């Protein structure tokens, strides 16, 4: 019997119009990401069972291949490029399902927290849905920025409302261009 090799963790930072975007990857899947140059800003969101024990190897963005390419493509106008990137997060059944449902929210079509709770399978669980957004470690790839308040205001965003505004505006522009075709 052969034991599986230890997981390989890598980190990189991609420069974006919204600032440095750091990605922590394990064996081809994003564990955590966000608009920071400091990896420690990301690791607290990762489930302890997935968190690396040591500081992951820092690599050139090109070494993360399709992951870094998806971020660049997103910022170049292909907002759907992030959809194919594998993500690995761990939590209880509701939150895990809620994160999966976030990936179905289309760019340019934000949903309210109440709509998101309904998508996640429990319309009454608005606070739990908001909690899933707050605990989402894989920002951008699991697009919690696409969830807004019922009154249309932005609500919160771990990476700042300026970044959330930018992302939503970028996606609205893309959505409008697609509809105009």
Please give the positions annotated as active site. 144
Q: Which of 78, 53, 67, 56 is nearest to 21 (CA)?
A: 67
Are 116 and 122 in contact, with CB atoms under 8 Å apart? no
């Amino acid at each position: 019997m052969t034991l599986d090799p230890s997981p390989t963790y890598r980190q990189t930072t991609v420069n974006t119009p919204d600032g440095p975007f750091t990605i922590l990857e394990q064996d081809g899947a994003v564990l955590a990401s966000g608009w920071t140059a400091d990896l420690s800003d990301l690791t607290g969101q990762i489930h302890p069972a997935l968190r690396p024990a040591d500081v992951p190897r820092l690599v050139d963005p090109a070494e993360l291949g399709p992951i870094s390419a998806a971020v660049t493509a997103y910022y170049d106008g292909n907002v759907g490029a992030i959809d194919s990137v594998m993500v690995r997060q761990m939590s209880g059944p509701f939150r895990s399902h809620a994160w999966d449902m976030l990936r179905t929210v289309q760019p340019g079509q934000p949903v309210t927290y109440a709509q998101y709770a309904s998508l996640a399978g429990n319309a009454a669980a608005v606070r739990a849905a908001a909690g899933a957004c707050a605990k989402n470690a894989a920002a951008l790839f699991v697009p919690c920025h696409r969830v807004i308040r019922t009154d249309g205001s932005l609500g919160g965003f771990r990476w700042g409302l300026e970044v959330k505004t930018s992302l939503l505006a970028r996606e609205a522009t893309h959505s409008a261009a697609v509809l105009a075709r």
